[in-house]
Structure 1
Amino acid sequence: MTTLTEFQAAGFPMGAEPLVALDLVDTQALCLDPVRDLLSDEQENAKWWALQADRLPTGPPPSLGATRRLRSLLRDLLDAHMTGVAPDPALIADLNAVAAAVPTSPRLDGWGADARAETRWHDDYNGHPALAALAGEAIRLLADPARLSSLRACANPACSMLFLAENKRRMWCAANVCGNRARVARHYEKTRS
Structure 2
Amino acid sequence: MLDVDFPLTGEPLILDLVNTRPHTAAGPMDLLSTPAGLQAWLGIQAYRLLTPVPVTAPTEADLAAVHAVREHSATAIDHARRGECPPRAALHALSSALGDAPAYRELGWDGTAVTSTPRRAGSLGARLAAELAEAAADLLTNPQTIALVRACAAEDCVLLFLPAHPRRRWCSASRCGNRARVARYYQRHKS
TM-score of the alignment, normalized to the shorter chain, above 0.5? yes
Please give the per-residue CA displacement for 1:22-66, whole angstroms capped at 9, x wherever unaligned: 111011125877422122222222211222122112153462222
2:162 matches 1:164: yes
TM-score relative to the length of structure 2: 0.83
* Cα pair 2:101 2:126 within 8 Å, conserved: yes
* Cα pair 2:23 2:156 within 8 Å, conserved: no
Matches of 2:176 and 2:4, distance apart in 1 = 18
Q: Structure 2 vs 1, CA of residues 127 and 100 (structure 1 numbering), >3 Å: closer, same or farther? A: farther
What stretches of structure 1 of length at least 5 have no aligned partner? 1-8
Between the aligned residues of both structures, percent identity stands at 34
Where in structure 2 are the equivalents of 1:108-187 lying within 5 Å?
A: 108-111=107-110, 116-123=115-122, 128-187=126-185
Matches of 1:190 and 1:59, distance apart in 2 = 49
Measured on the aligned residues, the alpha-carbon RMSD in Å equals 2.5
What stretches of structure 2 of length at least 5 have no aligned partner? none
2:7 matches 1:13: yes
* Cα pair 1:109 1:115 within 8 Å, conserved: yes
Matches of 2:43 and 2:130, distance apart in 1 = 16
TM-score relative to the length of structure 1: 0.82
2:13 matches 1:42: no
Query: May I ask how many residue pairs the two structures share in their alignment?
Result: 183
